[in-house]
Amino acid sequence: SAVISQKPSRDICQRGTSLTIQCQVDSQVTMMFWYRQQPGQSLTLIATANQGSEATYESGFVIDKFPISRPNLTFSTLTVSNMSPEDSSIYLCSVDGTRTGNTIYFGEGSWLTVV
Amino acid sequence: RKEVEQDPGPFNVPEGATVAFNCTYSNSASQSFFWYRQDCRKEPKLLMSVYSSGNEDGRFTAQLNRASQYISLLIRDSKLSDSATYLCVVNNPAGNKLTFGGGTRVLVKP
């Protein structure tokens, strides 16, 4: 499986500010995904980060709130914009482990608390 | 009805005992199924894929019942280190996306 590094691992942010999370993979991967896991909840897919084009967002998530970059096949960023306490969550970067994209592996996550 | 449903637990299991739990899914066209394990304040990690014929990995056995649309995970000879939340994951063929269940919490006690 790929080694996935996320930064920051955790942060406490003021409401109204924005934070960018970085995800670095040790090998080229086709599919990169961003998930959110709110306290006590399961994982929800935010978007698929596409290399060289705009990310594909899931229902309920928009580019203005969660802009995503994917400049190459090993790196992606997720920005959480204009944060509110409701954005306090774990944000997880993941990549596909097979050609079909069925199995995914996760980075260690970025734990954000908005105060 | 949720796409993927799990009993949240917790399942309190004596060390050395066997525990089993299920996960139901609503989309009959789903083709791929997985169990992930998530420790407290950690990222989910793939435990095992679930194949149509069922599969076993050491003390862990996964089964798929397509007729009733559920998958199961059985843990034999439970260890204290098996305490975790077990996430059921189902592939949604439309868009090739994964849907996560809410997780089943297992607590193994001495």
Q: pLDDT tens for residues B84-107?
A: 999 999 987 766 678 899 999 999
Across the interface, do A102 and B100 touch by the CB < 8 Å criterion?
Answer: no
- A17/A53 Cα distance (integer angstroms): 26
> Which structure tokens are listed for B80?
């204290």
Q: Of the ranges A41-45, A82-86, B63-67, B91-95, which one carries the lowest mean pLDDT score?
A: B91-95
Longest dimension (CA), chain B: 44
**Which percentage of chain B shows pLDDT scores above 90?**
75
User: Which of A41, A45, A105 is opposite residue B46, by nearest beta carbon?
Assistant: A105
Taking only the tens place, the pLDDT of each residue in A69-113 is 999 999 999 999 999 999 999 999 998 765 444 568 899 999 999
Q: What is the band of A29 on the pLDDT scale with cuts at 50, 70, 90?
A: confident
- B39/B83 Cα distance (integer angstroms): 8
- A95/A90 Cα distance (integer angstroms): 16
**What pLDDT is recorded for position A64?**
97
**What pLDDT is recorded for position B96?**
67
**B88 in contact with A at a CB cutoff of 8 Å?**
no
Best of B23, B51, B98, B104 to disrupt the A interface (most A CBs within 10 Å) is B98
Whether A32 and A94 have beta carbons less than 8 Å apart is answered as yes
Across the interface, do B96 and A100 touch by the CB < 8 Å criterion?
Answer: yes
Whether B13 and B105 have beta carbons less than 8 Å apart is answered as no
Q: What residues of B are in contact with residue A41 (Cβ under 8 Å)?
A: 102
> Which residues lie closer than 8 Å to B33 by C-beta, 6 or more apart?
B25, B49, B50, B62, B64, B71, B88, B89, B90, B91
Across the interface, do A43 and B100 touch by the CB < 8 Å criterion?
Answer: yes
**What pLDDT is recorded for position B52?**
87
Cα B18 to chain centroid, rounded: 15
> Which structure tokens are listed for A95?
């990549």
> Which structure tokens are listed for B98?
């994964």
Strand partners for B37? B45, B86
> Which structure tokens are listed for A70?
């994917």
> Which structure tokens are listed for A99?
């050609």
Q: What residues of B are in contact with residue A102 (Cβ under 8 Å)?
A: 32, 91, 96, 98
Strand partners for A68? A78
Structure-token match 């069925």, residue found: A102
